[in-house]
Amino acid sequence: MTQKLSNIEHKITESSAWQKVKDFLNLHLDITENISISILDILIIITVIFITTIVLRLLLKAFTRHLPNEEKGKFNVVFSYFRWLIYVVILLITLHTVGVDVTAVFAASAALLIGIGLALQTLFQDIISGVFILIDQSVHVGDIIELDGKIGRVEEIKLRTTRATTADNKVLVIPNHLYLTNSLYNWTQNGTTTREGVAVGVAYGSDVELVKALLMQAANEHPKVLAKAETRVLFTDFGESSLNFKVVFTLNDSFNARFPQSDIRFKIDKLFRENNISIPFPQRDIHIKQQPK
């Protein structure tokens, strides 16, 4: 009988302790007249924020796993801004879930975000494009790129812009959103060597085999043309006033290709003069009709 009474008293004590814990967890803190939050709600919010932090760290490691150390620093800066935005959104959703009336906060936040988004739309596009460039690794420092008709060697990739230098040593600042809206040509992604060419037309009746040999000679004698890659001559078209050819060769410095191309044109002109091969120019016959008086 004594043992049963002891067990009953123990259960009553446990029930009383649990009730005290429940009462403590249900204790509400009145922040404003319309917003009240309990201790249990605060614990739930802390738990959700903790889980969100772990998930964000895992995502950060996954995104930066294959990035160089220099690019990791840039990505971490961008990710830190998005992380605080995610925290705010998760916090508002959690508060709404536990019963806190945050309708006014949601409405104000939505209006604010829409206003900021419209005002800074291009800026956000540039930053997001910069993140894609860092993750995708489609462009690296030192690459020669052609974008929207502009050619430059990439010197620095920032979050909003990419800085490149043209062949004339002029700085070209490219907004990163252009990578998403325009076709990008990376001249050096497959290596530093590229195939270049020089086009020329000769008069009808010229010895085409001699023309081919002279074009091959002009290209192969240039020191910048790589001997390991075959030089080719293409008979491209029968033009209105000329037979059109193109000599194709390989260079190891495509960024300065215009200089070897110019030298080869000088050489072609010299060889053609020595071998009596003329480069025609368009001619038109004009017939003047006189009206009878």
Q: Is the pLDDT of residue 202 over 90?
A: yes
Q: Is the pLDDT of residue 105 over 60?
A: no
Q: What is the mean pLDDT of residues 180-201?
A: 81
Q: How confident is the model at residue 274 (pLDDT cuts 50, 70, 90)?
A: very high
d(CA 184, CA 144): 11
Q: What is the mean pLDDT of residues 178-195?
A: 77
Q: Is the pLDDT of residue 166 over 80?
A: yes
Q: How confident is the model at residue 119 (pLDDT cuts 50, 70, 90)?
A: low
Q: Is the pLDDT of residue 114 over 90?
A: no
**In this structure, what DSSP letter does residue 289 have?**
P
Q: Is the pLDDT of residue 89 over 50?
A: yes
* Phi, psi angle pair for 192, to nearest 5°: -85, -15
Q: What is the mean pLDDT of residues 5-18?
A: 55
pLDDT for res 143: 84
Taken in order of first residue, the domains within the chain and their CATH numbers are 22-119 (1.10.287), 137-186 (2.30.30.60), 194-274 (3.30.70.100)
**Percent of the chain scoring above 90 in pLDDT:** 21
pLDDT for res 217: 93
pLDDT for res 25: 58
d(CA 257, CA 148): 19
pLDDT for res 5: 46
Give the mean pLDDT of the chain: 77
Ranges of beta strands (E only) in 123-263 are 144-147, 150-157, 161-165, 171-175, 184-186, 194-202, 232-238, 243-251
Write the CB contacts of 179 (distance below 8 Å, at least 6 apart in sequence). Answer: 129, 132, 133, 138, 139, 147, 162
> How many other β-carbons are positioned within 10 Å of the β-carbon of residue 268?
22
Please report how the helices 39-64 and 69-97 are oriented relative to each other, as an axis angle in degrees rounded to 10: 150
For the chain, the residue count is 293
Q: What is the mean pLDDT of residues 173-185?
A: 80
Q: How confident is the model at residue 247 (pLDDT cuts 50, 70, 90)?
A: very high
Higher pLDDT, 134 or 256: 256
pTM of the model: 0.54
The least confident of 22-31, 82-91, 212-221, 254-263 is 22-31
